[in-house]
Amino acid sequence: MRARFWPEAAMVAVLLLAPLVLPRLGFSYDLLQRILDWGLIGLGFDLLFGATGLLSFGQAAFFGTGGFVAAYLLLHHVLSSVWLALALGTLAAGLFGLAVGWLAVRRIGIYFAMITLAFGQMAYFLENSPLAAYTGGENGLPGVPVPMLGSYKIAAGMPMYWALAVIFLAGFVLARRILHSPFGAVLRAIKGNTARTGMTGHSVPAYKLAVFVIAALYAGLAGGLLGVFQSYMPPEAFSLDTSGQLVVQTVIGGVGTLVGPLLGATIWLWLRDNLQQVPHIGALWKLILGLIFVALVVMLKRGIAGEIRWAFSRRRLASAEAGVPEEAGEAAVMPPEAAALPMQAPLVVARADAPALRAIGLSKFYGGLHAVEGVSFDVRTGSIHAVIGPNGAGKSTLFKMLTDEVSPTSGDVLLFGQRVTGLGPTHTAQLGIGKSNQLNQLFLDLTVTENLRIAALARARGTFRADLWRAADSIAPVERQVAAAMDTVGLTHRADVPVHVLPYGEKRRLEIGIALAIGPNVLLLDEPLAGMSPAERVATRALVREIGRTRTLVVVEHDMDAIFELAERITVLYEGRLLADGTPEEIQRNQAVQDAYLGGLHEHEPA
Amino acid sequence: MPSAPLLLSQAFNGLALGTLLALVASGLTIILGTLGVLNFAHGALFMLGAYAMYVVTAQTGSYFLGILVGAVFMLVVGVVLERGLVRLFYGRPHEDQILVTFGAGIVIVEAVRAIFGANTQSVPTPSWGQGIVQLGFLFYPTYRLELIGIVAALLFALYLILYRTSIGLVVRAGIEDARMVGILGINVRRAFLLVFAIGVVAAGVSGMLYAPIVSVEPDMGSSFLVEAFVVIVIGGLGSYPGAVLGGLIAGEIISITSAFNAAYSEVMLYAVMALLLVLRPQGLFGSEGRV
């Protein structure tokens, strides 16, 4: 990701040219100011919805809060500096965002939209009656003063436009930095695959709350500016229509483009100002916009800015995808001779005296169903340990308890003697347990490099860090880790290919690569060979053996040839219970295993 | 402290408001529970029902014809919406479903505004609902009193459909696991269409019944939409009993609070919702893990 400044340069040009060109097309200075204000609240909203996928219908709450706090402070002469009042209004909106976000971000899509809408409406009622003594109720607050720049008064019209243009530009630059920062990379990962983001060791609720507060801060600043440039703070700032208008403008302009809300606002506000007065069609502009909005959503269109960007990026993508075959051929599946680049050292210093992983009496009951019951085993540090058993034996449930994705009904998991049960998958990942899943859990819209970077960032940055200003690819150890993991799983030639175009076998290897890139001490592989062609199986077996040289592996697999070739120790599960635990030779000789599992293999499992 | 008679009459007002909210929210919640779609157009459909009532009563003067024709009209609207739009979104993310129903709501509201104008319309109270009834502890408008009974009967009818018929069994099974119901060979698509249509009719009929006592205008639905959201968050997403109880609770919160301080009546509703989200996030009748 080389620094590209042309969007910033283009934005400067647009802001400079707008007051020269647009007034001829029916844009007054007042209209331009309102468009910039909507664009500003839209920057925060697009980080929230476009980048992170969180659809809020409550941005009006923060828009209004910022506006009314700033206006009140100025009109009651608590403060004389407009700038300071704007800052405090923004801060108040951020604090309100923190409270609402705390309740909303732990919930998925449907709940999130409902709760934000409801709190938006609550803010509207608060403004309207209980706080009417401070906010003017239905009358709003008239007479908000304009800001000073030294002794220069920023008057309405042209000076105010420039002030707003500078503030919008600063907001735009910041939003772009955030989007391309490590923090922004995690936001995009959350949108792509929330569960996997958490499993690689990022605290998803913390990131969601942070971006929610950022969006509230943008909204609060825009609200404060609304009162300033209109010299009036209207109660409608709090209304449901404000939140809804923002959503419509963003979708029409282009979700996830940052400039989309600005473009959408340009269209919405221009139509309203210029068509309102025209007889017969005056009332229809909103109906037409509504129909366009529905059509865009139905046809999966990206909005104006989104379609433009897509048209440009399609050519670039086409060349990147040109070399990707439908099915991985022989050449593509050859394993690396050896990992040429060293992986970063494991997270926890391995202690020779404790087993890497120890399961003690693990049980999981779903009502009357005993999925796993009283399973104990040790995984020796540096070994390749296999867990086998027929379908339904409880292998996947056991694996999920090892990473604490599923909390055990009883029992404990110890990592180098330290209890990890109850910490949740995010913290177990941070402590050094990585897992590749039976079904691929990838970030399909991101490239191979970006997928691996998400995992490596978790290792380097911990569960949460608000590094909003630096570039996502500027952390040297992270980039080394990405390169090493990519090399190990043999995907270096696909570095910049979006993952959704990769053939299945390569996706499978990337699934392992992501688990590897967090730098785990103990790597759990859930059916790494599932669904692979014979050639891919050979390559992946070599890959597993290679990885096993440097770290402890636990593998669930149905491919018995692979298991008996790779594993130093095998744990056998049968109907949720531990049937046997020993070396491959002991397991092969074990009569109970032969009767219950190997004997039954041909009956129960045609594969 | 307000007087006992005032509290009693406010509690009664709360019952009237609560049954309305219960009916609006039950339409929303059965669609959400069965189809997994949060219908943001629900408020617009409430408004559309009120306008249907206005048109028919203005032409014929008959209240019953208004309800009958209006209900059929809403059924058609529900079928068209499901077949033409909502069906395309079952496999798409929740955010897209929300966006498209939100957009459909805008289109409905603006279409009504384009046809009927932004002015307030009024629907006459039926002849059997004129006047005031002396209840002993308070005087109450006859139509509002009758309305409590009518809505309670409708809620009971909905209960019978959901809990005493085979289609209701399919719907309730669909709430638990729509895919499994499909695997069992039941035509889930047809059940979905039916549920969506029932939900739309419930919204529309609520609008029709309340048209005589509220001012009918294009934006009347949005506040009901938000309150219906609060009701199903309180009651538990997708739960029919939760919607009914949540509606009654919400109605009482608003009415009783306004006996103390009218300024806080709406705010209190959201405060209770926030409290519930902290203490019991899944709602009164919701099950953990569904959302």
Whether B39 maps to a domain, the answer reads yes
- Looking at CA atoms only, how far is residue A574 from chain B in angstroms? 27
Cα B39 to Cα B25: distance, rounded to the nearest angstrom: 11
Cβ-contact B99, A248 below 8 angstroms: no
Q: How many CB pairs under 8 A join A and B?
A: 115
Q: Does residue A107 belong to the interface with chain B, where contact is any CB pair within 8 Å?
A: yes
Q: List A436's β-bridge partners, or say none.
A: A525
Cβ-contact A224, A164 below 8 angstroms: no
Q: Are residues B277 and A115, on separate chains, in Cβ contact within 8 Å?
A: yes
Q: Strand, coil or helix: what is B146?
A: helix
- In this predicted structure, what is the pLDDT of residue B172? 75
Contacts of A173 (CB under 8 A, 6+ apart): A8
Whether B17 maps to a domain, the answer reads no
Structural domains of chain A sorted by starting position, each given as residue range(s) with its CATH number in brackets:
6-313 (no CATH), 357-604 (3.40.50.300)
Both structure tokens of A352: 């020779």
| E strand map for chain B | 132-134, 139-141
Number of independent structural domains in chain B: 1
Element containing residue A402 per DSSP (H, E):
helix A395-402
Q: Does residue B104 belong to the interface with chain A, where contact is any CB pair within 8 Å?
A: yes
- In this predicted structure, what is the pLDDT of residue A607? 42
Both structure tokens of A475: 């952390």
Per residue in B63-110, pLDDT (tens digit) is: 999 999 999 999 999 999 999 999 999 888 889 999 999 999 999 999
Cα A138 to Cα B290: distance, rounded to the nearest angstrom: 40
Q: Are residues A114 and B118, on separate chains, in Cβ contact within 8 Å?
A: no
Quick check: ipTM above 0.85? yes
Q: Are residues A55 and B98, on separate chains, in Cβ contact within 8 Å?
A: yes
Q: Are residues B99 and A251, on separate chains, in Cβ contact within 8 Å?
A: yes
**For B50-80, b where at least 16 C-beta lie within 10 A, e where not — what string?**
bbbbbbbbeeeeebeebbebbbebbeebbee
Q: Does residue B95 belong to the interface with chain A, where contact is any CB pair within 8 Å?
A: yes
Q: Does residue B102 belong to the interface with chain A, where contact is any CB pair within 8 Å?
A: yes
Q: Does residue B262 belong to the interface with chain A, where contact is any CB pair within 8 Å?
A: yes
Q: Are residues A287 and B110, on separate chains, in Cβ contact within 8 Å?
A: yes
Residues 241..270 of A with a Cβ closer than 8 Å to B: which?
244, 247-248, 251
Residues of chain A with pLDDT under 70: 1-3, 282, 320-353, 597-607
Whether B16 maps to a domain, the answer reads no
Least CB-CB distance to A110: which of B222, B267, B291? B291
pLDDT average, residue stretch B199-203: 96
Least CB-CB distance to B106: which of A119, A125, A290? A290
Contacts of A490 (CB under 8 A, 6+ apart): A333, A334, A335, A336, A509, A539, A543
Closest CA to B103 of B91, B118, B89, B121: B89
For the residues of A188-240, what is the DSSP string, one character each?
A: HHHHH-HHHHHHTT--HHHHHHHHHHHHHHHHHHHHHHHHHHHTEE-GGGGSH
Q: Does residue A48 belong to the interface with chain B, where contact is any CB pair within 8 Å?
A: no
Q: Are residues B95 and A130, on separate chains, in Cβ contact within 8 Å?
A: no
Q: Are residues B85 and A106, on separate chains, in Cβ contact within 8 Å?
A: no
- Judged on CB neighbours under 10 Å (0-12, 13-18, 19+), A563 is buried
- In this predicted structure, what is the pLDDT of residue B90? 86
Per residue in B102-156, pLDDT (tens digit) is: 999 999 999 999 999 889 999 999 989 888 888 877 788 899 999 999 999 999 9
Residue B23 has pLDDT above 80, yes or no: yes
- In this predicted structure, what is the pLDDT of residue B287? 65
Cα B24 to Cα B43: distance, rounded to the nearest angstrom: 9
CA distances from A56 to A38, A44, A432, B31, B283 (A): 16, 11, 35, 21, 21
CA-based max dimension of chain A: 93
Q: Are residues A247 and B99, on separate chains, in Cβ contact within 8 Å?
A: yes
- In this predicted structure, what is the pLDDT of residue A338? 41
Q: Does residue A286 belong to the interface with chain B, where contact is any CB pair within 8 Å?
A: yes
Q: Are residues A298 and B85, on separate chains, in Cβ contact within 8 Å?
A: yes
Contacts of A356 (CB under 8 A, 6+ apart): A350, A379, A380, A381, A382, A383, A415, A416, A521, A522, A552
What is the pTM (predicted TM-score) of this model? Answer: 0.92
Whether B136 maps to a domain, the answer reads yes
Structural domain containing residue B51:
22-219
Q: How far apart are the first and last CA of chain A?
A: 45
- In this predicted structure, what is the pLDDT of residue A335? 45
B102 contacts in A (CB within 8 Å)? Answer: 244, 247
- In this predicted structure, what is the pLDDT of residue A317? 72
Within 10 Å of residue A493's Cβ, how many Cβ atoms? 14
A115 contacts in B (CB within 8 Å)? Answer: 233, 277
Q: Are residues A125 and B267, on separate chains, in Cβ contact within 8 Å?
A: yes
Q: Does residue A155 belong to the interface with chain B, where contact is any CB pair within 8 Å?
A: no
Q: Does residue B230 belong to the interface with chain A, where contact is any CB pair within 8 Å?
A: yes
- Looking at CA atoms only, how far is residue A598 from chain B in angstroms? 32
Cα A227 to Cα A221: distance, rounded to the nearest angstrom: 10
Both structure tokens of A542: 């070599």
For the residues of A77-133, what is the DSSP string, one character each?
A: TS---HHHHHHHHHHHHHHHHHHHHHHHTTS-HHHHHHHHHHHHHHHHHHHHTTTHH
Q: List A578's β-bridge partners, or say none.
A: A573
For an interface test with A, the pick among B42, B96, B102, B230 (most A C-beta atoms closer than 10 Å) comes out as: B102
Q: Are residues A107 and B94, on separate chains, in Cβ contact within 8 Å?
A: no
Long-range contacts of A322-330 (CB under 8 A, 24+ apart): A323/A493, A324/A494, A324/A497, A324/A501, A324/A502, A324/A503, A325/A503, A326/A503, A327/A503, A327/A504, A327/A505, A327/A533, A328/A503, A328/A504, A328/A505, A328/A506, A328/A533, A328/A536, A330/A535
Between vectors from CA A138 to CA A132 and to CA A144, what angle results, nearest 5°? 80
- In this predicted structure, what is the pLDDT of residue A333? 45
Within 10 Å of residue A128's Cβ, how many Cβ atoms? 19
Within 10 Å of residue A292's Cβ, how many Cβ atoms? 17
- Looking at CA atoms only, how far is residue B288 from chain A in angstroms? 12
- Judged on CB neighbours under 10 Å (0-12, 13-18, 19+), A383 is middle
Element containing residue A552 per DSSP (H, E):
strand A552-556
Q: Are residues B267 and A248, on separate chains, in Cβ contact within 8 Å?
A: no
A251 contacts in B (CB within 8 Å)? Answer: 99
Q: Does residue B268 belong to the interface with chain A, where contact is any CB pair within 8 Å?
A: no
